[in-house]
């Protein structure tokens, strides 16, 4: 394509080109198909390149002889949206496929559509507009909003049926024919779950996992933490065969020995001990996406430490045993203490702890437990203890789906209280934005009527926040009040 002439477009073009130049592909991709599909991850490049969905979609779409799929990412400053793979502008693609994994990313989808004057509601679009496809994690638990925006929705994992439909597309098809050809009628209600797990197609220093080759070793979750959709909506836990995994690592070791293992809970991988043994033998540098503190082993921490991982990360989630029981975590105080001791024994000096606060059934004593765990870590000898503190955002499809979210005034008060108590040497507190958490609650739980009203509102207003803030208040009013006698239902023993 012809290079841009105006300064702003040239700067954007140069930025995208520079990011692409740092990528190292591990296999060849065929970009010769005549049906152009824009694969859009509606978040910044750092996040987009770290998501295995980006790698899986690029590989599998371009495996079809008729398809040429190229990647795009989002930041508010972009105007032309140049492809990472050929620097072609977005408006030259007739199919825009969005991969939406976080609730707030749907607002970025709206921003992209608005910047090109494309109506947000599918029914309002003209034959000249691109076909809008939406898939990703949001479709697993609530697609009432997505289904009104998308011309085509892929619910759940990327299905073979969807790829078969994609293979029938021809450049001569008009907009309606293209959308119809891509629409897969589900064989059964719900979403599609795939056993084909992902792996990196390229590595880059600009990723969250710098220059690491990512391998999905498991999908779905056998745990039933009551606040998390993974155990309820992402399908049963399924794992990659060990020999297949080791073969992938052996092939890629010619390019890099730095591997990132991805799963809902890496410590649940049934062949973890053998994997660790081989990784030590072959000198692999491993990092992991998640750890269960009650399933840690000295071997695992030794491998992570040898891989130069400086921070040891675990998620107690609740400060008190009562809260952890209500959350369904299945861990106790001794599990936490043992994990912290093991980390120190293996030479870790930095630890990160994840906690959830602000549940409607929480009290001050529960929150005091968070402070005590931080003190315990400091007392054991950790030089830096980072606490990531997030308010409870009730999710659809979980046992907490009918709970209200605490109002912002109450959450701000709790945050101030925790900040004050956690102000001690060696401890750093990172609080998730309460405003963003509130918007996440609204977008994740919005129903059919709310979605319709929201999209009508956005026909006149660009700023979605006032509507969503009002919707949070309405939603909380409608929610059943969670009563303390529900303790038996929500406890784990």
pLDDT of residue 472: 96
Q: Report the distance separating Cα 250 and Cα 341, nearest Å.
A: 33
Dump pLDDT digits (tens) for 416-469: 999 999 999 999 999 999 999 999 999 999 999 999 999 999 999 999 999 999
Reported as type and span, the H/E element at residue 250 is: helix 242-252
Torsions phi, psi for 71 (to 5 deg): -95, 145
Q: Give the C-alpha separation, 299 to 303, whole Å.
A: 6
pTM of the model: 0.92
The pLDDT tens digits of the residues spanning 238-297 come to 899 999 999 999 999 999 999 999 998 899 999 999 999 999 999 999 998 778 888 888
d(CA 280, CA 159): 36
Percent of the chain exceeding pLDDT 90 equals: 77
* Per-residue pLDDT tens over the stretch 213-246: 999 999 888 888 899 888 787 778 889 999 999 9
Residue that the structure tokens 């394509």 belong to: 1
Q: What is the pLDDT of residues 312-347, one digit of tens each?
A: 899 999 999 999 999 999 999 999 999 999 999 999
**What are the structure tokens assigned to 273, written together?**
């001990």
pLDDT at 324: 96
The span from the CA of 148 to the CA of 172, in Å, is: 26
Q: Give me 230's structure tokens.
A: 């993974």
Average pLDDT over residues 399-420: 95
Contact 286, 278 (CB under 8 A): no
Q: Report all structural domains of the chain as residue ranges with CATH numbers, in order of start.
A: 7-182 (3.40.50), 202-434 (3.20.20.70)
What is the pLDDT, as a whole number, of residue 483? 43
Angle at CA of residue 191, ends 96 and 61, nearest 5°: 35
Between 189 and 132, the more confident residue is 132
CA distance 442 to 454: 11
* Cα separation of the two ends of the chain: 63
The pair of three-digit structure tokens given for residue 316, joined into one six-digit string: 């107690």
Distance CA 154, CA 137 (A): 10
């Amino acid at each position: 394509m012809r290079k841009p002439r105006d300064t702003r477009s040239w700067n954007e073009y140069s930025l995208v080109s520079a990011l692409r130049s740092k990528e190292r592909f591990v296999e060849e991709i065929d970009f010769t198909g005549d049906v152009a599909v824009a694969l859009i991850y509606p978040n910044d490049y750092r996040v987009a390149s770290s998501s295995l969905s980006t790698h899986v979609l690029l590989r599998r779409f371009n495996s079809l002889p008729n398809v040429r799929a190229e990647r795009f990412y989002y930041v508010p400053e972009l105007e032309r949206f140049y492809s990472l793979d050929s620097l072609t502008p977005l408006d030259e693609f007739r199919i825009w496929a969005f991969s939406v994994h976080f609730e707030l990313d749907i607002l970025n989808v709206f921003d992209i559509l608005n910047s090109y004057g494309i109506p947000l509601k599918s029914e309002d679009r003209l034959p000249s507009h691109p076909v809008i496809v939406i898939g990703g994690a949001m479709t697993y638990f609530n697609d009432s909003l997505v289904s009104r925006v998308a011309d085509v929705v892929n619910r759940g994992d990327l299905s073979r049926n969807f790829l078969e439909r994609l293979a029938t597309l021809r450049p001569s098809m008009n907009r309606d024919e293209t959308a119809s050809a891509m629409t897969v009628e589900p064989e059964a209600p719900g979403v599609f779950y795939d056993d084909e797990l992902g792996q990196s197609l390229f590595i880059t220093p600009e990723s969250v996992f710098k220059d690491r080759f990512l391998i999905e070793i498991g999908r779905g979750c056998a745990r039933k933490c009551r606040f998390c959709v993974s155990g309820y909506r992402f399908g049963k836990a399924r794992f990659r065969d060990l020999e297949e995994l080791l073969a992938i690592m052996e092939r890629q070791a010619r390019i890099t020995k730095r591997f990132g293992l991805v799963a809902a809970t890496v410590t649940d991988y049934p062949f973890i001990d053998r994997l660790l043994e081989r990784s030590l033998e072959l000198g692999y540098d491993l990092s992991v996406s998640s750890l269960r503190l009650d399933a840690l082993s000295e071997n695992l921490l030794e491998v992570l430490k040898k891989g130069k991982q400086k921070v040891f990360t675990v998620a107690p989630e609740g400060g008190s045993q009562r809260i952890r029981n209500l959350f369904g975590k299945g861990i106790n105080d001794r599990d936490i203490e043992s994990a912290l001791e093991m980390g120190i024994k293996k030479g870790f000096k930095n630890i990160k702890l994840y906690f959830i606060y602000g549940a409607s059934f929480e009290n001050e004593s529960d929150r005091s437990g968070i402070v005590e765990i931080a003190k315990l870590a400091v007392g054991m000898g950790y030089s830096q203890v980072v606490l990531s503190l997030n308010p409870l955002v009730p999710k659809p499809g979980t046992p907490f789906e009918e709970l209200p979210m605490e109002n912002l005034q109450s959450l701000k008060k709790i945050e101030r209280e925790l900040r004050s108590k956690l102000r001690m040497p060696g401890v750093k507190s990172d609080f998730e934005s309460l405003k963003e958490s509130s918007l996440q609650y609204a977008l994740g739980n919005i129903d059919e009527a709310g979605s319709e009203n929201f999209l009508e509102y956005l026909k006149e207003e660009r700023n979605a926040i006032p509507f969503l803030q009002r919707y949070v208040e309405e939603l909380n009013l409608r929610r059943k009040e969670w009563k303390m006698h529900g303790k038996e239902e929500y406890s784990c023993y």
